[in-house]
């Protein structure tokens, strides 16, 4: 997921991690994908996996950061929606 140059392979790896999305180490990897993968589809899937878990509080800062730095409008909208659904501010403090 973190090192293969083929986006299709990375997507399959992401799908394979779905059952383990609540694990703290997997969440770190998913957060890394969210912040740095070049493929917007993978970043979107990472948002979905990270928000499926009940452990969302640490995610707030990451999503707020993405709102500030992300170039892809769809991903920015997803971040905004997830933050609103979590009753979290869209602004960083």
Is the pTM of the predicted complex or chain greater than 0.85? no
The CB-based long-range contact list for 52-57 (8 Å cut-off, 24+ gap) reads: 52/21, 53/21, 53/22, 53/27, 54/22, 55/22, 55/27, 56/86
In this predicted model, what pLDDT tens digit does every residue of 24-78 receive, in sequence order? 899 999 999 999 999 999 999 999 999 887 666 678 888 999 998 999 999 999 9
């Amino acid at each position: 997921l973190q090192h293969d140059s083929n986006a299709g392979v990375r997507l399959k790896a992401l799908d394979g991690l779905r059952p383990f999305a609540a694990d703290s180490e997997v969440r770190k990897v998913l957060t890394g994908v969210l912040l740095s993968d070049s493929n917007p589809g993978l970043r979107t899937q990472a948002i979905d996996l990270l928000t499926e878990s009940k452990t969302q509080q640490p995610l707030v800062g990451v999503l707020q950061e993405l709102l500030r730095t992300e170039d892809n409008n769809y991903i920015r909208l997803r971040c905004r929606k997830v933050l609103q659904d979590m009753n979290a501010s869209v602004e960083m403090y």
